[in-house]
Structure 1
């Protein structure tokens, strides 16, 4: 049986041309995909250069709670009509930062609580057809007993509202289908699979 895994491609990629730039650069590439025994396949692909993101599932083990946030997203407003999304902590990795450093900083900025420990879990490409965004997920161990009502950076015009819920309630939200943020869904799926081993992860990241 062949291994089910991503693998390297034999491909030629042009230098990028800039289509536009806002908060991020939007670039175009000409691609030649080389195929065994077949003519090369020529493609043109446009990418939003979003780069690295750190995402954190903040858990208070003593209270059996997960900390989530509410934040307005224009995309959700357009697509589902529910722009006030429920999410987990997440943000871009700044130049010179490691994903773990960004994860800790984002916890302070978005929920007002620094994790006592971070455990790296997994990484994904959430939308590889349109952006190079790469998300590394962490389990963050926190104290959820004194969350602020609002968080976020004024210079980024953020309004973020953190709140704590039981692990049962978080997993029930996943099962309800009423939350659509992909990072939240992914993190809660991990939580549903590993909730009985959270203490092991807290003691031993390789659990």
Structure 2
């Protein structure tokens, strides 16, 4: 039996209808309850279901890379989810945060990087986009590679008015890859971005650095 197009290794559209929608909680991350009907996949008939969804919007995740020192800047801060689910209340992460309504994503990424590490972006490029937990939230994360000067890092970051206490750390790339491979890091953004960087990062960084030199030559 020949596999149909639904067996292709790709995300695909699916017809669905929202039958009812109500807001169960209206806070920093609103929670909506939806009754939906969607076209058949593994069954013969359309399916109806009730789903709760946390509205997360778009966020930017930054891989701050210093090509001179071959280092990625990571951060450590208290995370309530990690504290409640694991023994490690201060996990390693990448700088990340919400993209404001109408804000250019790359601009939002650079803003979050500066707020959480104090570093300026020398050049930045979009790498890939992921749905963080599509069964739970509509949050969409845009992952960026940013070239930085890690020597400018003073180790402190975060906004006091948002109750953030952030430690910024310079991580040698190979040591960070080894830590991920050894299971010492659980943050999904950092694990995925490190795997991506191991395969593509240095090459993309060289292209990005070349674009800076070309801009300097033409100005």
- Select 1:8's aligned residue among 13, 27, 43: 13
Q: How does 1:188-199 map to 2 (within 5 A)?
A: 188-197=194-203, 198-199=205-206
Deviation of 1:8 after TM superposition, in Å, equals 0.9
Q: Secondary structure at the match of 2:28?
A: coil
Q: Secondary structure at the match of 2:112?
A: helix
Q: How does 1:40-189 map to 2 (within 5 A)?
A: 40-189=46-195
Alignment CA distance shift 1:172-1:152 (3 Å): same
Deviation of 1:195 after TM superposition, in Å, equals 4.2
- The answer on whether the counterparts of 1:17 and 1:29 sit within 8 Å (CA) in structure 2 is yes
- Greater mean alpha carbon deviation, residues 126-135 or residues 4-13: 4-13
Match of 2:38 in 1: 33
Q: Secondary structure at the match of 1:110?
A: helix
- The answer on whether the counterparts of 2:82 and 2:89 sit within 8 Å (CA) in structure 1 is yes
Match of 1:19 in 2: 24
Which structure features the higher share of helix residues?
A: 2
Unaligned runs of 5+ in 2: 212-219
- Greater mean alpha carbon deviation, residues 78-87 or residues 146-155: 146-155
- The answer on whether the counterparts of 1:119 and 1:202 sit within 8 Å (CA) in structure 2 is no
Q: What is the aligned-residue RMSD (CA, Å)?
A: 1.8
Deviation of 1:21 after TM superposition, in Å, equals 2.1
* TM-score normalized with structure 2 length: 0.88
Deviations 1:52-111 (A, max 9, x none): 000000000011111000011011111111010100010000122121111000111011
Unaligned runs of 5+ in 1: none
Alignment CA distance shift 1:179-1:34 (3 Å): same
- Greater mean alpha carbon deviation, residues 13-22 or residues 64-73: 13-22
